[in-house]
Amino acid sequence: MAKKDCRDILVPHIDRYCNVVGFTRPNLKYDQQSINYLTTSVITNIKVNVQEHFVKMLVRFINYRLDVKNQQKRLLGAERMSFFARLRYLKQLFLLDDIPQTDDLDLSNLESALLEDIWNILLDRVIGKEGKLAYLVACDPLSFFPSHCALSRLFERCGLPLFNAIPLRRSFIQSHVRIDTMILYQHVLKVSWREYDSVDKMDLWLRVCNLGSKAFTTRSGMAFDGSITTDGTSMSVCLKHPDAAKYGRHKHRNSEQAIEADIKSQYIENNLTACRSASNVVTIDPNKRDILYCRDLQKRQPKRLEAGGSKNPAKQ
């Protein structure tokens, strides 16, 4: 159905509702610019939310279901080591890092139920794709958004602490609204298109902003190109590089393979030559929690810094 047809159907009902509640509709003839910024903001928030939290919440779901916290306090010695070895194997299995070659997995009833819950929300997203789950989520987060929502429902069904699958807002009004040159002349200055087309756009901005202030100063090759954000009190100036894509021309979208290759290229094992030639190196192990490796400038010996602050020589 075309947009005009939808408008013709909905507007009469909306008008009657506005008359009932006494609401006067704002006269926004050119509101598509603000809506485009709002849409981009919502989609970006969802993508970042999935990238940052989906795998983390999936691992947390496994830990809650297997009662890892209490088992860690209760078990000692060999039993503790055996439990965590089993836990590592199960996480590789649940997160599809280690695909079993046989149907006989030797799982308990709880582990089998947990495996079914997780695979039900993951298999459709990862089947036929190469790479581990974390890479797939980083490369194409929006394809895992339905899985992220399904995981939220699993938390609720199992009575676990809930999380927001979708970033929530208390208001539909943006905290910071983007104002570009088109919004400026249409909604703020309310000048005609003829007047807008006959003057330089910086002359329009001079009517509302002091372009000589420090905030508008060109820095690092980037300059003010006619875009700000404001919440009605404070204001942020958007600077743009001259080589950046022009408005309306979208940058070519990289393929999933190109994004995955770019992520892998940033890992330490692919940059050993640069690390060895540098005078001072700080590296973070992504597979360990709260562990940082660095090199002592005096003794030229690697050290490991843990979250608690202890310093131990790193094992070669």
Whether residue 14 has pLDDT greater than 50:
yes
Q: Is residue 48 part of a domain?
A: yes
Q: Is residue 285 part of a domain?
A: yes
Q: Is residue 102 part of a domain?
A: yes
User: What number of residues does the chain have?
Assistant: 316
Q: Is residue 260 part of a domain?
A: no
Q: Where are the alpha helices (DSSP H) in the chain?
A: 3-21, 32-65, 68-74, 77-94, 109-126, 133-139, 145-157, 181-183, 193-198, 201-206, 256-265, 272-277
Above pLDDT 90, what percent of the chain? 1
Q: Are residues 20 and 43 in the same domain?
A: no
Q: Is residue 98 part of a domain?
A: yes
What's the CA gap between 27 and 24, in Å, rounded?
Answer: 9
Give the residue-averaged pLDDT of 65-90.
87
Q: Are residues 194 and 276 in the same domain?
A: no
Residue 5, strand partner residues? none
Q: Are residues 139 and 224 in the same domain?
A: no
Q: Are residues 128 and 150 in the same domain?
A: yes
Confidence of residue 312 (pLDDT cuts 50, 70, 90): very low
Q: Which of 128, 157, 186 is the last residue of a domain?
A: 157
Give the residue-averaged pLDDT of 47-76.
88
Give the residue-averaged pLDDT of 253-269.
74
- Specify the range with the lowest mean pLDDT, choosing from 5-19, 164-178, 188-202: 164-178
The 10s digit of each residue's pLDDT in 220-250 is: 888 888 888 887 777 888 888 877 766 555 5
Residue 57, C-beta contacts closer than 8 angstroms, at least 6 positions apart: 148, 151, 155, 163
Confidence of residue 311 (pLDDT cuts 50, 70, 90): very low
Q: Are residues 90 and 152 in the same domain?
A: yes
Q: Are residues 182 and 205 in the same domain?
A: yes
pLDDT of residue 96: 77
pLDDT of residue 84: 87
The 10s digit of each residue's pLDDT in 114-154 is: 888 888 888 777 776 777 788 888 888 888 888 898 999 99
Residue 106, C-beta contacts closer than 8 angstroms, at least 6 positions apart: none
pLDDT of residue 309: 43
Report the number of distinct structural domains present in the chain. Answer: 4
pLDDT of residue 308: 46
Confidence of residue 316 (pLDDT cuts 50, 70, 90): very low
Whether residue 313 has pLDDT greater than 50:
no
What's the CA gap between 15 and 140, in Å, rounded?
Answer: 41
Confidence of residue 76 (pLDDT cuts 50, 70, 90): confident
Above pLDDT 70, what percent of the chain? 74
Averaged pLDDT of the chain: 77
Q: Is residue 166 part of a domain?
A: no
pLDDT of residue 115: 84
pLDDT of residue 242: 78
H/E element, 225: strand 223-230
Q: Is residue 246 part of a domain?
A: no
What is the span of the domain harbouring residue 191? 177-240
What's the CA gap between 62 and 246, in Å, rounded?
Answer: 46
Q: Are residues 39 and 19 in the same domain?
A: no
The 10s digit of each residue's pLDDT in 266-296 is: 777 777 787 777 776 666 655 554 555 566 6
How much of the chain is helix, strand and coil, in % rounded to 5? 50, 10, 35
Q: Which of 157, 191, 208 is the last residue of a domain?
A: 157
More confident residue, 278 or 86: 86
On the 0-12 / 13-18 / 19+ scale of CB atoms within 10 A, 63 is middle
Q: Are residues 42 and 142 in the same domain?
A: yes
Q: Is residue 203 part of a domain?
A: yes
Report the 10 Å Cβ neighbour count for 136: 21
pLDDT of residue 23: 80
Whether residue 2 has pLDDT greater than 60:
no
Give the residue-averaged pLDDT of 32-46.
75
Q: Are residues 194 and 217 in the same domain?
A: yes
Q: Are residues 17 and 52 in the same domain?
A: no
Contact status, residue 239 vs residue 222, Cβ threshold 8 Å: yes
Give the residue-averaged pLDDT of 203-231.
86
pLDDT of residue 310: 42
